[in-house]
Structure 1
Amino acid sequence: MPTLSPAPAVPPASRKGRPDLATELRMTILRLSRRIRSESSAADVSESQYCVLSGLSAQGAMTPRALAERDGVQPPSMTRTIAGLEQAGLVARNDHPSDGRQVLIELTPAGAEVVRETRRRRSAWVSRRLAALSPEDRAVLSRAVDILKEMASQ
């Protein structure tokens, strides 16, 4: 894999009217993220509902409070989200094994299928775009993934 040398610091004015790198990168990542999120299963699930389903898929059954904390939303908002998912048959409420005051929310088989199908569609969209690139461009993106992971971990 080719090694990328750091790009020279180019003042915004000398980039022919283009925004600075930080702005361009931020805007591009947001656009790409929106485009990838548009690839979802046939189920009529909002992005916030999908986040709950995906989290349950990854972490297993959780309390509504834990789901709200994980997603950074207020408990009443999570209650509405869970109610919609429950009504659609994508999650189920079960008694907490050690705390009778709590319930656990878990994926149903239909909810697990929504997560699988959404992930499949999103990965397929990205794979098609990558396949259209040259091997050199894919190598650059591979290196960029490492750099972005490092940035995200800081």
Structure 2
Amino acid sequence: MSEAADERSLASRLRLAVVRLNRRLRAQRADNEVSLTQISALSSLYKCGPMTPGQLAAREGVQPPSMTRVIAALEGLEYVERSPHPTDGRQAIVTLTKEGQDYVRTTISRREMWLDQRLAELTDEERRVLSKAAEIIERMARHN
């Protein structure tokens, strides 16, 4: 098999593996009321703290109008709230509510528990390989 064919095969195998893993992780959601995009935005707020809609859009890699819709939906669920920016009257700060924090903790806990169980079934060497692969995939995901 040529090197180019090997690379296509790797790309295909990696894409399918990520899609399948993502599907399994989605099945661990606390409910189906919140979309994956919304969960991702909630997770970013949980990890990084309050931020402007523009900062959140940039972090999530979406256009600001799309993030505005995500934030509005999350406000409707009472998972986030907007407050005035302390120094820029044109901006708002988006913050997780207690309900939003609880939702993220529950969702993360379910997913991580499922992943922890799968990882426990692997050898030490397989876990080391996955640790390195996670670093590489994260780096790939940051590129446009």
Confirm or deny: 8 A CA contact 2:29 2:110 kept in the other structure: yes
TM-score by length of 2: 0.82
Indicate the residue corresponding to 2:24 in structure 1.
35
Q: Distance in 2 between matches of 1:80 and 1:68?
A: 11
Indicate the residue corresponding to 2:84 in structure 1.
95
Choose between structure 1 and 2: higher helix proportion.
Answer: 2
Q: Distance in 1 between matches of 2:13 and 2:118?
A: 20
RMSD of equivalent CA atoms: 2.0
Which of residues 68, 75, 81 is equivalent to 2:64? 75
Q: Distance in 1 between matches of 2:40 and 2:106?
A: 14
Instruction: Name the SS of the counterpart of 1:62 in structure 2.
Output: coil
Indicate the residue corresponding to 1:122 in structure 2.
111
Instruction: Name the SS of the counterpart of 2:123 in structure 1.
Output: helix
CA deviation after TM superposition for structure 1 residue 95, in Å: 0.9
Q: Distance in 2 between matches of 1:63 and 1:92?
A: 11
CA deviation after TM superposition for structure 1 residue 149, in Å: 3.5
Q: Distance in 1 between matches of 2:15 and 2:136?
A: 12
* Equivalent AA in structure 2 for residue 140 of structure 1: E
* Equivalent AA in structure 2 for residue 28 of structure 1: A
Which of residues 9, 18, 43 is equivalent to 1:20? 9
Indicate the residue corresponding to 2:130 in structure 1.
145
TM-score by length of 1: 0.77
* Equivalent AA in structure 1 for residue 14 of structure 2: L
Which of residues 23, 39, 54 is equivalent to 2:43? 54
Indicate the residue corresponding to 1:8 in structure 2.
none
What is the percent sequence identity of the aligned residues? Answer: 43
Which structure ranks higher in relative contact order (CA pairs < 8 Å, sequence separation ≥ 6)? Answer: 1
Relative distance call for 1:67 and 1:150 in structure 2 (3 A) is: closer
